[in-house]
Amino acid sequence: MICWYFWGSHTACYDLWFLRLVAVAAVADVAVAVANRVCLVSVFCEVIVDIPIEMSCEMQTDKEAEKERCPGGSNPLEQYVILAKAARGAAAVELVKQVLEAPGVHVFGELLDTDNIKELANGPHSMYFELLRLFAFGTFREYLEHKEKLPELTPVMKKKLQHLTIVSLATKMKCIPYSVLLQELDIKNVRDLEDLIIEAIYSDIIHGKLDQRNSQLELDYAIGRDTQPGDLAQISSTLQAWCDACEAVLSCVETQIHKANAQKNKSLKHKESIEQEITNIKKTLKTQTQDSDEGMNTDMRDALHGGHSDKSKKGFRVKNLRGSSAKFWQKS
């Protein structure tokens, strides 16, 4: 009995301690799980925070590299124009090759006007001068037509000239059919053509969208190219036509302004006349009201005076009757 009692009492104690241990273990498991989740969240946050920093660093690196390639700032051709002042012969040829492959360089007029580059036109490297002129003013179709007289293009040069050809076509039409682009760019399938157009859009050479349903390129913007002296007359006529159209629109606007002002003045006069008529009507109504009030007052006064006179006459008659009756009884 003693042993059983001892065992029973200790068993109850053990059960209590066991429950406490289970509760502590459960709390510990929850704490560990929460800690693990906190760690995971912190690691995830660190990863999320680190990604933009790395991307921003890469973007800064790209910008710095771009600045190194284009120290001239907004005009990437400026550095090549400076180098062309000291480059002659083979060095000038290498400079032409570099500028034709340089990213962001799509105008070459300033380089063509330098003396050392002009000297290439009369020497053994005249083909490179003509190639530079072609990139400044020509198209990829013109290159194919004179391919035997010009140096072979690298893939980078070929793609740049194709992009410049799209720019030239943009000056003639806003919606360029795929058939025209395939012919002018010498591309065999639409997939390659669309890839080329997408690269031009991402390079900010053109802005537009691909209309695959109608098989055409819709353009909203295109960069400018170099202008030849022979194009000045056409540019002048285009600007003159634009000025004439502006003057016509301006004269039309002025005519509409005069019509609007005349209509406004007419409306103001009509408004004033209506207001004057309203004022006159109000005055007339006020005068009529006053006259009617005066007439009513006069009638009321007359009625009052008439009532008093009738009462006095009736009283007089009653008195007379009383007097006569008294006299009458006296006689009898």
Is residue 29 over pLDDT 60? no
> What pTM did the predictor assign?
0.57
- Residue 181 CB burial class (10 angstroms; 0-12, 13-18, ≥19): buried
Q: In this structure, which amino acid lies at residue 116?
A: N
169 and 232 in a single domain? The answer is no
Residue 115: inside a domain: yes
Amino acid 9: pLDDT = 41
Whole-angstrom distance, CA of residue 165 vs CA of residue 185:
7
Say what the alpha-carbon torsion angle 172, 173, 177, 181 is, to the nearest 10 degrees: 30
160 and 201 in a single domain? The answer is yes
Of the residues 175, 202, 226, the one at which a domain ends: 226
Whole-angstrom distance, CA of residue 78 vs CA of residue 92:
15
Strands, E assignment, the chain = 175-177, 206-211, 216-222
Amino acid 312: pLDDT = 53
Is residue 18 over pLDDT 80? no
Residue 142: inside a domain: no
**Contact predicate 329/322, CB 8 Å:** no
**CATH number of the domain enclosing 182:** 1.10.10
Of 99, 146, 103, residue with least CA distance to 127: 146
Residue 317: inside a domain: no
233 and 215 in a single domain? The answer is no
Amino acid 30: pLDDT = 45
**Contact predicate 151/135, CB 8 Å:** no
Amino acid 246: pLDDT = 95
- Residue 111 CB burial class (10 angstroms; 0-12, 13-18, ≥19): buried
Of 150, 59, 151, 165, residue with least CA distance to 106: 165
Is residue 258 over pLDDT 60? yes
In whole angstroms, what separates CA 3 from the centre of its chain? 93
317 confidence band (pLDDT: 50, 70, 90): low
CA atoms within 13 A on the CB side of 208: 25
Residue 298: inside a domain: no
Residue 132: inside a domain: yes
Amino acid 74: pLDDT = 66
Copy the structure tokens of residue 275. Answer: 């207001």
Q: Which ranges in 146-231 belong to alpha helices (H)?
A: 155-170, 178-185, 190-202
Q: Indicate the number of domains in the chain.
A: 3
- The 10s digit of each residue's pLDDT in 138-156 is 999 999 999 999 999 999 9
Whole-angstrom distance, CA of residue 303 vs CA of residue 203:
106
Residues forming beta bridges with residue 280, ordered by sequence position: none
Within a 10 A sphere around the Cβ of 254, how many other Cβ atoms?
A: 10
Is residue 40 over pLDDT 90? no
Residue 121: inside a domain: yes
CB proximity list for 166: less than 8 A, separation 6 or greater: 176, 181, 185, 197, 200, 205, 206, 217, 222
Residue 208: inside a domain: yes
Of the residues 202, 226, 250, the one at which a domain ends: 226
243 and 278 in a single domain? The answer is yes
221 and 241 in a single domain? The answer is no
Amino acid 160: pLDDT = 95
For residue 189, what is the enclosing H or E element?
Answer: none
Amino acid 191: pLDDT = 94
Q: For residue 192, what are the domain limits?
A: 152-226
Is residue 46 over pLDDT 90? no
Of 234, 114, 156, residue with least CA distance to 164: 156
SS3 of 45, please? helix
218 and 168 in a single domain? The answer is yes
Whole-angstrom distance, CA of residue 75 vs CA of residue 107:
10
179 and 219 in a single domain? The answer is yes
**Contact predicate 42/35, CB 8 Å:** no
Residue 28: inside a domain: no
Amino acid 65: pLDDT = 47
Whole-angstrom distance, CA of residue 158 vs CA of residue 185:
10
